[in-house]
Structures are given as structure tokens and as C-alpha cells.
């Protein structure tokens, strides 16, 4: 299982610390029950950290249509909303919000072939990501992008009560293919897909549905809506 490079400080540092603790325990009290206990606890803690930072390979679904937009994250659809104006699409938008628990894969993926226009960081609070108001007031990073046909798309990463580090190493003009990894949020969070609400969008999921990043089709945008 590949581990996300963005978490090397956590899973790498945690692994080194676990080895040091186990080595010290066996040096100080060889063949003692305390050494076995510390070994078990250290290994369990490292496995939990590594499991959070897992980064499984994902093959794109078969028979994708050009207008299909894939989920940018693993998790559960927590809300589907419409707004009159959104910076990501410069107009009315549909927001598909995904809640990621600590058990979900936290690597974010691009929903389609796009070019990054800009990223907008907004400082904020760190409310529990399960609270509806967290999407409005928490720290976030919005990636604004467009497809080759001109369709504007936004992906917004939102911190939670535990997640306090957004990883988004993208830059203006950078191009990505559908399903490409591009960032993550550490330890529980929310990710939004923002698409134009122009009458040419078919949302393919419902609130409460489980989705997989780079696998589940969240919406289909007809080419005439580009």
C-alpha cells in the first residue's frame, strides 16, 4: 500500500519514534512484559497513522463520458446546495459537499482534465466538519480551474476540528488529468466540488451516499453547458 508523501512527517517520523521506543524498551527490560506491551502499543499506533495516510491506486471507471465529473474525495455526501454566486465559477453554482471521516482516504483527486486558474486561501475557524456551519466559517483552500472547453470548476478543501493542515501544492497554469492526485487534508475534513448551475448539469448522487475519489461520478455536465 502506497503512503501519501504529504504525510511523510507523520508516518515517517512516527515510524522512527516507534522503533526508538521499542529498541529502548527491549534494551532496558529485555524479555519483560513491559517491553512486549510497548512494542504492541507502538506498532498499533504506527499502523493507525499509516492507515490514515494510505494512498491506494485508483483506475478510472470504464465508459466515462466527456462531461462526467468524478468525486474529488472519498467520504459521504453531506450536502448538495445551490448558490447565486460563487468565486470558483464566477456565477451561480451547485455545491456538492463531501464529509471525510478519519477512516476515509484523505488524498484529493481532480474531477476532470483541467487547468488551474488560481488558488484562494481563506483563514478561518476549526469547527467540527460534521456541523453545517463549518463549511462557511472554517479555514479553506479553493482551487479554481477550467476544462479545455471553458467549463469552470472549483474544488474546495475545508479544515475540521482535528484537520488543521491543508495540503494543496498546485499553481496557476498547472494542468491535471481526470483522477490525478493533487493534495489532501490531514485528519478529518470536508471537500466540495463546485460546478456552474446553468441548467446543463445532472447531479448523479444524493445526500448520504458514499463516494470514492477518482471513481464515483458526482455530476454530468453536457458539452453545451460549457
- The span from the CA of 165 to the CA of 170, in Å, is 15
Q: Encode 1-33: b = buried (16+ Cβ within 10 Å), e = exposed.
A: eebbebbeebbeebbeebeebbeebbeeeeeee
Same domain, 84 and 180: yes
CA distances in angstroms from 45 to 30, 51, 52, 187, 213, listed in the order given: 21, 10, 11, 14, 26
Same domain, 42 and 98: no
Same domain, 209 and 165: yes
Instruction: Give me the residues paired with residue 27 across strands.
Output: none
Q: What is the pTM of this model?
A: 0.87
**57 domain-assigned:** no
101 is annotated as an active-site residue: no
140-189 per-position pLDDT tens digit: 999 999 998 889 999 999 988 775 688 899 999 999 999 999 999 887 68
Same domain, 10 and 36: yes
**Given 148, 175, 189, 224, which residue is catalytic?**
189
Determine the distance from the C-alpha atom of residue 157 to the mean position of all C-alpha atoms in its chain, rounded to a whole number: 7
Sequence-distant (6+) residues with CB within 8 A of 200 are: 221, 222, 224, 225
Same domain, 130 and 187: yes
**155 domain-assigned:** yes
Q: Decide: 208 and 77 in contact? Cβ < 8 Å.
A: yes
Check which CATH number belongs to the domain holding 158 and give it. Answer: 2.70.70.10
- The span from the CA of 146 to the CA of 186, in Å, is 26
Q: Decide: 100 and 74 in contact? Cβ < 8 Å.
A: yes
pLDDT at residue 221 in the model: 93
8-49 per-position pLDDT tens digit: 888 788 889 888 888 888 787 777 778 888 889 989 998 988
Same domain, 44 and 114: no
Same domain, 175 and 87: yes
Domain hosting 30: range is: 5-52
Tally of domains in the chain: 2
Mean pLDDT across 68-97? 96
**59 domain-assigned:** no
Amino acid at each position: 500500500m502506497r503512503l501519501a508523501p504529504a504525510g511523510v512527517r507523520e508516518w515517517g517520523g512516527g515510524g522512527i519514534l516507534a522503533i526508538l521506543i521499542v529498541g529502548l524498551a527491549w534494551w532496558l527490560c529485555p524479555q519483560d512484559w513491559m517491553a512486549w506491551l510497548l512494542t504492541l502499543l507502538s506498532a498499533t499506533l504506527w499502523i493507525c497513522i499509516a492507515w490514515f495516510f494510505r494512498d491506494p491506486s485508483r483506475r478510472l471507471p470504464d465508459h466515462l463520458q466527456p462531461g462526467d465529473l468524478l468525486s474529488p474525495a472519498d467520504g459521504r455526501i453531506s450536502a448538495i446546495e445551490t448558490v447565486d454566486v460563487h468565486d470558483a465559477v464566477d456565477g451561480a453554482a451547485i455545491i456538492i459537499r463531501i464529509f471525510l471521516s478519519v477512516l476515509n482516504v484523505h488524498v484529493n483527486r481532480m474531477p476532470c482534465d483541467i487547468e488551474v486558474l488560481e488558488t484562494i486561501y481563506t483563514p478561518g475557524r476549526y469547527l467540527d466538519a460534521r456541523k453545517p456551519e463549518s463549511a462557511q466559517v472554517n479555514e479553506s483552500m479553493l482551487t479554481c480551474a477550467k476544462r479545455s472547453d471553458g467549463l469552470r470548476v472549483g474544488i474546495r478543501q475545508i479544515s475540521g476540528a482535528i484537520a488543521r493542515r491543508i495540503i494543496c501544492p498546485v499553481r496557476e497554469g498547472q494542468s491535471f488529468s481526470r483522477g490525478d492526485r493533487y493534495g489532501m487534508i490531514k485528519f478529518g475534513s470536508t471537500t466540495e466540488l463546485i460546478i456552474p448551475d446553468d441548467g446543463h448539469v445532472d447531479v448523479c448522487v444524493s445526500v448520504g451516499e458514499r463516494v470514492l475519489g477518482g471513481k464515483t461520478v458526482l455530476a454530468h455536465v453536457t458539452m453545451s453547458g460549457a
